[in-house]
Structure 1
């Protein structure tokens, strides 16, 4: 699966800042458990905890916006969620999702969080409605995975349309970035229908910035070879590993594939042989690739090493700001690998070209 910028709001504390404070209470009873049994509440970058006394527990706090959080039960007390090696993460299995919202959220279970009954306010009700819809979609064994995915996407969008004032709708709109590349024409109307409270929140404003990038890079219609009428590609300048500034305007008069990637992105590295093959075929035919890395200062050495290890002969640039890379923000990049094909007139004529699609599309444009 492609690496995501916002894999989940549960893991995105940057989306929970500079907001009014919302008090919350999460309490309940899990059988008759006593210490050392403990529950952990994880939200944003914070972790709260409480011992169980005769099965009962209570957690209080404030959150910057109504927010999904994970509640984890550890019968021996010690929190076991842990990163094991690169990309491997152990998640303690007895857990559930709760919504941090004004008013108490109550957990009731005879044995575990996985089997708990949860009651709360409107956000909890919205979450449970979505969970029921998802269960109905993915519980049909004879349905093809792609059909299930499309049903899932359509159900989420239908929920957003029906609930434009729900915080859950904003959460779900971000969540959809995990399963499909957002298209401006589809997601902009959903966002514009949101209440002002949602649009003006921190995650709402960030999604508005994403839309600006999507609008600036959308391909309005298929563009055949010789018909140079695409979307103007946003200009940017960034340094190479040795500090030399390179601008997109340097590629005027050529087809250039702007490739967003990173050294730590497994799917990107797997994509590099296909890029190299396309480069070798079309490089002598007015075609270039410009690599833009979403590495940061800490991974600079790994970025340079990945260029050498993958034998990438084309120019590579990065401002080493990670997901805050200015070119990535301009282009509305939400997942990598991602790329944009720019024609000799500086227009974006195709996006998201991977595998065979890359070769097929280049053949259509380049003689």
Structure 2
């Protein structure tokens, strides 16, 4: 019993030792108090934090349960009123992971660069490849918005914009998947595959892409979740194709 109590007493210390700290140091020159920066990360953005920006500087600190990168979002509200206001102003996606993450912008949230850790550097590399098509998509959306509400409801008006958008989206998909094939040991590649798979992933093509990733990435929590989803799709497809056997007495 004495040894059991000793072990239990040590558990909080062990948990603390296993946690992985991270820091985020931000510089966004055009912001100052009362502006606030908001951070959301983890599954469904369950972790939320906020800090006031002082003369363009802000920082976040926290701990993670393990070394696996987590999807994160940074938002800034110039008036420092609320998270909802910050979300309306725009969202910058990046990754929270153990280590020191650097966020810098010469002006606005739109031009922020996130570096300092492996996954964020890899993500910046992918975003650089997507930069041209992102600009083209922004132009398409802006031109569409210039139409009147009545025009936007008209399929004749909308059709060419939808076609241009879909062409660019397909181009982005090819760029993202090429990146995934070239970077098998990157968590960014896993996210690229998942995002490119769409609402109804095709089992065969996505299974092949997943097999091209390193075991470490495939066996991450997110990798296992997506692999399980693919197996469920495969099982459903097999069940749908199975012929119905006649009843024999």
TM-score by length of 1: 0.48
**Unaligned stretches of 5+ residues in structure 1:** 1-19, 83-89, 219-230, 234-341, 347-367
Tell me, in whole angstroms, the C-alpha distance in 2 between the residues paired with 1:40 and 1:119: 18
- Deviation at 1:132? 2.2
Query: Which whole-Å CA distance do the structure 2 matches of 1:185 and 1:23 have between them?
Result: 38
Written as runs of structure 1 = structure 2, the 5 A alignment for 1:21-170 is 21-31=19-29, 33-43=31-41, 44-64=45-65, 65-81=68-84, 91-140=87-136, 144-170=164-190
1:197 pairs with 2:201: no
Q: Structure 2 regions of 5+ residues with no counterpart?
A: 1-17, 141-162
**1:119 Cα deviation (Å)?**
2.5
Pairwise CA distance, 1:189: 1.6
TM (norm. structure 2) is 0.69
Secondary structure at the residue paired with 1:144? helix
Alpha carbons 2:29, 2:106 under 8 Å: kept: yes
Q: Alignment partner for residue 172 of structure 1, among 177, 192, 195?
A: 192
| 1:39 positional shift | 0.8
State the partner residue of 2:143. Answer: none
Residues 115 and 146 of structure 1: is their aligned pair in 2 closer, same or farther, counting only changes over 3 Å? closer
Contact map agreement 1:94 1:112 (CA 8 A) in 2: no
Deviating above 6 A after TM superposition, structure 1's stretches of 4 or more consecutive aligned residues are none
**235, 239, 247: which is aligned to 1:232?**
239
Assess if the C-alpha contact under 8 Å between 1:74 and 1:94 holds in 2: no
Question: How far off its partner does 1:60 sit?
Answer: 0.8
**Which has more strand, going by share of residues?**
1
Quote the Cα distance in structure 2 between the aligned partners of 1:114 and 1:152: 19
Structure 2: distance between partners of 1:208 and 1:94: 31
Two-structure CA RMSD over aligned residues (Å): 2.8
Counterparts in 2 of 1:144 and 1:188: CA distance versus 1, 3 Å:
same
> Is this contact kept in 2: 1:73–1:112, CA < 8 A?
no
Secondary structure of the structure 1 residue equivalent to 2:230 = helix
More helix by share: 2
8 Å CA contact retained: 1:39, 1:49: yes
**Matched residues in 1 for 2:29 and 2:80: separation?**
16
Higher RCO (CA 8 Å, separation ≥ 6 residues): 1
What is the CA distance between 1:41 and its match in structure 2?
Answer: 0.5
Q: Deviations over 1:286-336 (max 9, x none)?
A: xxxxxxxxxxxxxxxxxxxxxxxxxxxxxxxxxxxxxxxxxxxxxxxxxxx
Shift of 1:112: 2.6
Give the length in aligned residue pairs. 199
Give 1:94 shift: 4.3
Kept in 2: contact 1:184–1:211 (CA 8 A): yes
* Match in the other structure for 1:185: 204
Contact 2:22/2:62, CA 8 A, preserved across alignment:
yes
CA distance in 1, matches of 2:211, 2:235: 17
Equivalent residues of 1:22, 1:66 under 8 A apart: no
